[in-house]
Amino acid sequence: MQRLIQGLRNFQEEIFPAKRELFESLAKGQQPSTLFITCADSRVVPDLFTQSEPGELFVIRNAGNIVPPFSRQPGGVTATIEFAVVALGVRHIVVCGHTDCGAMKGLLHPEKLAAMPTVASWLMQADATRRLVLENYETADEAQLIDAMIRENVLVQLRNLETHPSVASRVARGDLSLYGWIYDISAGQVDSFDAAEQRYIRLDGTSQPHATPVARLQKDNLASL
């Protein structure tokens, strides 16, 4: 804890004064461009690896970067998505998994979660990922299975995201873009799912792959419905 308190002091003495104008403007409100949904893992720091400033990313974190399918039951993830999309009007949503994800390991080996029944229940929301991988990656070894779980899970959670009414409506009219990212902890690299090519592409600044479905209800397309 001493380490954190020292860090806070350093922030107050060095960082805050250097960015005083930014913090003063943020004190009046926020207009983040992006809802960033990622794992709770301490090694995944989206503000750092995207070099974002305070006020840019609206973040949801949980074990396994899971987006429960829409339900009217109260839920922290569901309510926070609705707030980000409706009240804040974010224009982008990133679902970001990562290498060496403990949640995905637990999903692959539920027998190891016997002492953590709540974690096991939470991860049941990624059952589609588990089944999809086990039935379609039959020749994969352990490391390949974990990798497949991480990558397929991001795509399953992106589909869950589209069951949320506020998201579905804006995606349909091309007003909200979706992205599926995998952050590689050991390399500092990000792979992004490309809906056009149906595969992950390394983000190197030359292209902007995205996972957004075709905007069927854009004004130009409505006449053909």
Binding residues among 75-104 for Zn ion as defined by CB under 5 A: 101, 103
CB of 25 to Zn ion, least distance (A): 33
Q: Judged by CB under 5 A, which of 41, 147, 152, 191 binds Zn ion?
A: 41
In whole angstroms, what is the distance from residue 87 CA to residue 98 CA? 29
Asked if 39 is part of the footprint of Zn ion (rule: CB under 5 A), the reply reads yes
φ/ψ of residue 157, rounded to 5: -70, -30
CB of 71 to Zn ion, least distance (A): 23
Given the complex with Zn ion, which of 84 and 101 has the nearer CB atom?
Answer: 101
Contact partners, residue 155, CB within 8 Å, separation at least 6: 180, 193, 211
Asked if 147 is part of the footprint of Zn ion (rule: CB under 5 A), the reply reads no
Angle (CA) 125-129-131 rounded to 5° is 105
Tokens at 112, concatenated: 């190891």
Given the complex with Zn ion, which of 93 and 101 has the nearer CB atom?
Answer: 101
Closest CA to 83 of 53, 50, 60, 55: 60
Asked if 107 is part of the footprint of Zn ion (rule: CB under 5 A), the reply reads no
Q: Which residues bind Zn ion (CB under 5 A)?
A: 39, 41, 101, 103
